[in-house]
């Protein structure tokens, strides 16, 4: 029997995602200040991530450094992956076998954002809030 992790890293998974027009890359984030963001995949390669400014802010968030991370988009080459725009919710963390979308939440103002920074209302730093992608934006669970 194949585990979910093995399937996600298999050629069949890549083909299934391509059939939908989407691909993904999964591994650990590389957040070296002098280098572009990248994901270190299982075979040791670094796949550079190219993304819009809000997505790049997420990729550089030090709170996500040690997470099992996934980005959705498309490969431009074997070593370059273009992440879908932030509004397409293409950045995920895997915990306990569950895929969780990366969001940010202000506990004071109950405002959700999709990239790190200060709350647009109270100016307090927003916390990382990993959520089930099936939940709506305002569901508090």
User: Tens digit of pLDDT for each residue in 74-101?
Assistant: 999 999 999 999 999 999 999 999 999 9
Distance of alpha carbon 9 from alpha carbon 100, whole angstroms: 18
How confident is the model at residue 139, as a pLDDT?
62
pTM of the model: 0.81
Spell out, as residue ranges, where the chain has pLDDT lower than 50: 1, 4-5, 7-8, 12, 14-19, 141
Q: What's the confidence (pLDDT) of residue 19?
A: 46
Q: Note the pLDDT of residue 119.
A: 97
Q: What's the token pair of residue 111?
A: 């405002």
Q: What is the 3-state secondary structure (H, E, C) of the chain?
A: CCCHHHHHCCHHHHHHHHHCCCEEEEEEEECCCCCCCEEECCCCCEEEEECCHHHHHHHCCHHHCCCEEEEEEEEEECCEEEECCHHHCCEEEEECCEEEEEEEEECCCCEEECCCCECCCCCCECEEEEECCCCCCCCCC
Taking the C-alpha atoms of residue 115 and residue 125, their distance in angstroms, rounded to an integer, is: 11
**Ranges of each domain in the chain:** 24-131
pLDDT score at 21: 79
Q: What is the signed CA dihedral for 101, 66, 126, 51, rounded to 10 degrees?
A: -60
């Amino acid at each position: 029997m194949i585990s979910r992790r093995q399937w996600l890293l298999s050629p069949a998974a890549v083909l299934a995602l391509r059939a939908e027009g989407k691909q993904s890359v999964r591994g650990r984030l590389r957040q070296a200040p002098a280098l572009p963001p990248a994901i270190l995949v299982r075979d040791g390669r670094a796949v550079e991530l190219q993304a819009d400014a809000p997505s790049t802010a997420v990729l550089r968030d030090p709170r996500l450094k040690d997470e099992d991370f996934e980005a959705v988009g498309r490969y431009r080459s074997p070593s370059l992956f273009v992440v879908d725009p932030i509004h397409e919710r293409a950045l995920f963390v895997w915990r306990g076998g569950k895929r969780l979308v990366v969001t940010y939440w202000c506990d004071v103002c109950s405002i959700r954002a999709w990239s790190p920074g200060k709350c647009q209302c109270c100016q307090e730093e927003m916390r990382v809030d990993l959520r089930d992608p099936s939940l709506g934006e305002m569901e508090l669970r």
